[in-house]
Amino acid sequence: MNIILASKSPRRKELLEMCNISFKTVVSNIDEKEIENQILKEKKECDIYTQADTLTASLAYNKAKSVSLTNPNHIVIGSDTVVASDLKILGKPSSEVDAYQTLIQLCGNVHRVYTGVSLFIDGREEFTFTNYTEVEFFKYDDCMENIIRDYIKTGSPMDKAGAYGIQDMGSLLIKEIKGDYYTVMGLPISSLYRKLLPYI
């Protein structure tokens, strides 16, 4: 059965290719902002981490479902990633200023990166799960200031939740992680592969 990745993320594509999985990509047409607003409204009494967990699962589910509806007889993988500090959920930055402020806020603190994954087969949900990894940034100092400014100049933070990627120059900001590296990269590939194995 053919596999579809319902994502345009080059990181997710890279991870599936790394595992010798044959697939094609189809980007879903869901309104992510509408879903986010709905989830945050429904979960407004919950803590930030619960909100992030629910949001990533819901976005992954809806991406996979949307693509599955127009691609019957396929295995469809949906995924989404958000960064959550203890204060708020951090999505992709809206500007370079926003990216700078986000990265400064994360300095010296531990935050969580949540990635949700959903698998649909023949239009039906097989499973949806989330993973999170704790990430600690180095404390703010002149070195961090220079790294952040140089990193933003590359443009790389602009398409990433939390304004950084662990697999690129953003790694220079990170002191320690607790959990799965690939969850931070955007797809918990070892967990996904084990769940996917019966179908491939």
Check 31, 80, 122, 141 and give the catalytic one.
80
Burial of 2 (0-12, 13-18, 19+ CB in 10 A): exposed
3-state class of 167 per DSSP? Answer: coil
- Distance CA(172)–CA(144), nearest Å, equals 9
The verdict on whether 80 is a catalytic residue reads yes
Residues in Cβ contact with 108 at an 8 Å cutoff, skipping those fewer than 6 apart: 137, 138, 139, 140
Tokens in use for 66?
Answer: 């949307």
Helix (H, G, I), strand (E, B) or coil at 22: coil
> Which residue type occupies 119?
L
Show which residues are catalytic. 80
